Amino acid sequence: MTNHSITRIDPGAMHYAHWTVLHQMRWYQSIQRRHKADLGTQRAVSDRFEKKFAAFVVKPRVSHPGIGFTHRKGRLIRKAASVMSICSVPLAVPCPPMDLLSRPILLFTSPKAGSGANREQIPLLRQLLSERGLKFHEVGCPDELARISRHAADVGAPQPVVIAAGGDGTLGLVASRTLPETPLLPMPMGTENLVGKMVGQASTAEAVFASLAGGKIRRIDAATANGRLFLIMATAGFDAEVVRRLHLRRKGHIRRSSYVAPILQTLQRYRFPKIRISRLADDDTVIDETVCRWAMVFNLPRYAAGLQIAPTAIDDDGQLDVVAMSGRGLISGLRYVAGALSGSLERHQDIERFQTHRIRIESDERVAFELDGDYIGRLPMVIESLPLRVTLVVP
């Protein structure tokens, strides 16, 4: 039988839990203390508690003497039990509903953003909002977006709902210029649309309006690299060099075919220099160091083309998932791609994985790095997690 000797609650952890949780806990513990209770009653109580409060129960924190029960030859025996904590798992408890249609609505568009796919949906969305009698303001300048968000905070008004029409880079730009409590609704129109795929948001005007009218609020982490906010990933090495070469030759919207020439050029010329990853404490002292040839840092469990490089990354745990690859050359690259496609990448012996909330990535040579598919510059970079930094509107 599952042991449920629960003796403490993390302060402030159950943000939306009803006070009856405490009442039910005390009721459950009182049943456990009745030594004459039969085994069937014990199991029924356990099942009832687990079913009702499964969203709040996390794994045992520490071991501590307590009251537990086991069954041996028809007798209930008292024994030591481990202490469990009850706390809210982020997103396990629904956030309170938010009346988004009563807020100001901003439609952020960028002519150069994304792949240009489905951009005909933007005029349809304008028409749909107008037909419903909703006023909205269209913004194309990030500085104007930041000014509107700051003004709302200064006067104590609700933050506007921002519809970000574009790719993942556009959504990250909008998040960087607005406050954490600003509701952001992605309208996917980029090459990969990784955030949109993660939350299940379609790019049609009807789907976006449906999320605006009846969607839910979801808080996710973000991160910064040298002070610049990103949502999905930061990489340094071969793939960042591909993105750099694409950036140099970019004209207009990016499509998947745009990557072919930069990949071939990088395969011919890239030498896979050594990259150092240092895990940092809060005071910037180095905890440990890893040397690799490819460095990838994930905030979300997503990568281009559906490759499963960090599928266990959690978007609201306050941690960065680091993947350090030591292989070099075409053969290693093909091996990594095959492992990512098949879901067996974690079994490769030349790949190291760990979690942290702050790291520094550097190299003695000129190594490019990119954020969410956009070339940023050369190493070094310091990456830090921002827990629950972004508020998304999801279907």
DSSP line for 131-159? HTT--EEEE--HHHHHHHHHHHHHTTPPP
Residues 2-14 have pLDDT tens digits of 444 333 334 333 4
Residue whose structure tokens are 């190291």: 352
pLDDT at 117: 61
User: Is the pTM value of this prediction over 0.75?
Assistant: no
CATH fold, domain 231-383, is Tumour Suppressor Smad4 (2.60.200)
Q: What CATH number should be reported for the domain whose range is 100-214?
A: 3.40.50.10330
pLDDT at 98: 59
Residues 186-211 have pLDDT tens digits of 999 988 899 999 999 999 999 999 99
Whole-angstrom distance, CA of residue 350 vs CA of residue 117: 38
Residues 135-189 have pLDDT tens digits of 999 999 999 999 999 999 999 999 999 999 999 999 999 999 999 999 999 999 9
> What mean pLDDT comes out for the span 235-243?
94
Burial class (CB in 10 A: 0-12, 13-18, 19+), 59: exposed
Q: Where are the domains of the chain?
A: 6-86, 100-214, 231-383
Residues 308-343 have pLDDT tens digits of 899 999 999 999 999 999 999 889 988 998 988 888
- 228-257 burial: b if 16+ Cβ within 10 Å, else e: bbbbbbbbbbbbbbbbbbbeeeeeebbeee
Residue 50 pLDDT class (50, 70, 90 cuts): very low
pLDDT at 249: 75
Contact 165, 111 (CB under 8 A): no
Mean pLDDT estimate for the chain: 80
Helix pair angle (205-214, 121-131), 10° resolution: 40
